[in-house]
Chain A
Amino acid sequence: MSSPATRGAGAADPAGDRAPARRDATVVVTGVTSDSHTWNLVFLQLLLEELGFGVVNLGPCVPEELVVSECLARRPALLVVSSVNGHGYRDGMRLISRLRRQPGLSSVPAVIGGKLGIAGAQSTEQLGALVTAGYDAVFDDGTEGIASFRRLLDALPQRALA
């Protein structure tokens, strides 16, 4: 298995003066098992780096066991699951169930977002089911999704330290 992909999102200095307090906090960004989309992951990496987080980008088509092992190894301040291809709901449910069963990962903050079904927006019940299964938040596609994601990030350090 390939090592986690962390390159490719600009070796730029991540606007470090904007959020120095978060330098030590790591966010793990990942796609789901069957999703090959990567632009979403590259964008999230850049955004998180600019906000001062260290980012481990696992890339697309990530096996569940790799997400588990990376979370155990890195103890991230947040796990971000992003999907575009329409199996996000199904794969995301399976992933979070497995993650929450893992000793040590029952309370790692985890969120999911993107295009999660093949027929457009998810139902309220499905969004609720993702939270019940263990996600701390679910973000729909679009600018409001990004805005609310940023609000969550603003709140994150305190949560991570709590």
Chain B
Amino acid sequence: MTGFGAFVRRARAGGELVVQPRMGMSEPERMRAGLRATRAANGRTVGTITLDSYTRVRDLESAGLALLEGESLNGYPIVNHDPATTRWVLDGSHGPDFPVQVRHGSADPIDIFRALMTVGLDASEGGPVSYCLPYGRIPLQESVDNWSRSCELFVRLRETGLEPHLETFGGCMLGQLCPPSQLVAISVLEALFFHRHGLRSISVSYAQQTSPVQDAEAVAALRRLCAELLPDTDWHVVIYAYMGVYPASPDGAYRLLGEAAELAAATGSERLIVKTVAESVRIPTVEENVGALEFAAATAAGTRRPVTAAGAGADSQTYAEAAALVTAVLNMASDLGEAMLLAFRRGYLDIPYCLHPDNMGRSRSYIDGKGRLRWADIGRLPLTGVVETRGSRTVTSGDLLDSLSYVRRKFDHEQVSGTPGRGAIGPGAHTS
């Protein structure tokens, strides 16, 4: 079999972690050069075309206007560019030994799927929940409908001999401060949603959070749930290097990326989305992306991988919570889209600090004294008896800023003074 999923499986069989940038430029020449540089980098790489944020919210007029005015966008406007232009961008790099994934963030992605299918691309990412709640303001119901239609369109790619691949973005909700069990649960639920809409090649995401031990638990839980719930599916796990406020020092940024690569390798994950030293200030250059890819690939190559990817050590608190959430949602309705809508309406899924009107907003999280991301308030999440909570607490702007910058402080601070940056940080930390 060919395609994105098959490429990743072959790399895994060869003991290699696939590394991938998030890269998107509006100018076709630069996008083409970026793909070629990614392909040429040392390490097992796949390419990325990240779309601009006007395309994400379907403001194609603004994307087109910026192109006319020659103004750079924060990504590649694949719907506005002519298919011939995009084929030229892909020419010479894209192929069986260099798959390319389209990354976007749209809760209304049908135009995007049409555009990528037209040029023969077979991989994208997203999900009805994860591309709606933090990424826009359309109702969740509309996002579920849009993603249903888009999946049903995307699977028709098989008629051309390609195997469509979709990655869940659910393991990255809001980038930071969502407890790992809920990230795992949403990633699994979105994978099941894709599966029920005909996808047979799927990846499940998980974004590095604040504690390496807890992250390893989360990935093991994710693998165990996928093994149980996704038969007849070619699935793999993709790790994201930390998505929140990134360290500002080059040394801190590289050490954090190194931990992400170690997490990916040590948990038997198959793919890693890297971050660069420039993340804290701006969108990175092609060269910075190549540097990050090569560093991550080398770090992973030097990390012991498990002999089997079975769920060793998966029987953790994180698994117990994730399994409780997934089971509760699956029991709500036989139609998974309907079940997810009901779950958010009743607070069975509830993203801390998420502003979307369809999110109940009763749950709260904090970082404990050991750096683990925990529930400060479970709201109406079906975790009574699974999670010990100490009652809700007030979160001030200072607490929030402390929590948001915990990782940056830890990695930058250690670089400067050599002392551990861990401490009593975030709401709830001093009550234990």
With CB as the reference atom, state the residue of chain A lying closest to B245: A39
Flag if A61 contacts B135 (CB, 8 Å).
yes
The reply to whether A42 and B400 contact each other, CB–CB distance below 8 Å, is yes
The residue from B283, B364, B401 contacting A118, defined by CB atoms under 8 A apart = B283
Q: Point out the residue from B53, B139, B394, B404 that lies within 8 Å of A13, measured CB to CB.
A: B394
- B357 interface neighbour in A2, A38, A50, A61, Cβ under 8 Å: A2
Contacting pair A15 B396 (CB below 8 A): yes
Chain A contacts of B364 at CB under 8 A? 10
B363 nearest in chain A by CB position: A8
* A36-B56, A87-B74 known; A1-B283 Cβ under 8 A: no
| A59 interface residue per 8 A CB criterion | yes
- Chain A residue at smallest Cβ distance from B177: A39
A90 on the B face (CB < 8 A): yes
How many A-B contacts at CB < 8 Å in the complex? Answer: 115
CB-contact partner of B394 in A10, A33, A35, under 8 A: A10
Query: For the complex, what is the distance from the CA of A8 to the CA of B377, rounded to whole Å?
Result: 13
Write out the residue numbers on chain B whose beta carbons fall within 8 Å of the beta carbon of A1: 137
B277-318: CB near A (< 8 Å → 1, else 0) gives 000011100000000000000000000000000000000000
CA distance A13 to B52 in the complex (A): 39
A10-B283 contact, Cβ under 8 Å, with A41-B355, A61-B57, A85-B74: no
Q: Cα distance A119–B74 when bound, in Å?
A: 10
Known: A60-B134, A118-B283, A119-B282. A42 touches B355 (CB 8 A): yes
Residues of A close to B73: CB separation below 8 A? 87, 118
Q: Which residues of A contact B282 (CB under 8 A)?
A: 86, 115, 117-120
B153 at the interface (CB under 8 A from A): no
Q: A88-129: contact bitstring with B at CB < 8 Å (1 yes, 0 no)?
A: 001000000000000000000000000101111000000000
Q: Which residues of A contact B359 (CB under 8 A)?
A: 7-8
Q: For chain B, give the interface size range.
A: 35 or more
Q: Does B105 contact A (CB under 8 A)?
A: yes
B107 smallest CB distance to A (angstroms): 10
Smallest CB gap from A40: residue in B: B404
Question: Judging by beta carbons under 8 Å apart, are B355 and A59 in contact?
Answer: yes
Cα-based distance from A93 to B175 in the complex (angstroms)? 28
Contact of A62 with B137 in the complex, beta carbons under 8 Å: yes
Is B15 an interface residue when CB atoms closer than 8 A count as contact?
A: no
Residue pair B174, A60 in contact (C-beta under 8 Å): no
Encoded as 1 (CB less than 8 Å from any B CB) or 0, chain A from 40 to 54 comes to 011100110010000
Interface residues of A (CB under 8 A from B): 1-3, 5, 7-10, 12-13, 15, 33-36, 38-39, 41-43, 46-47, 50, 57, 59-62, 85-87, 90, 115, 117-120, 141
15 pairs from A and B in contact (CB 8 Å cutoff): A5-B137, A7-B361, A9-B353, A10-B394, A10-B395, A12-B394, A33-B62, A34-B62, A36-B56, A36-B135, A38-B353, A41-B355, A50-B396, A57-B355, A62-B137
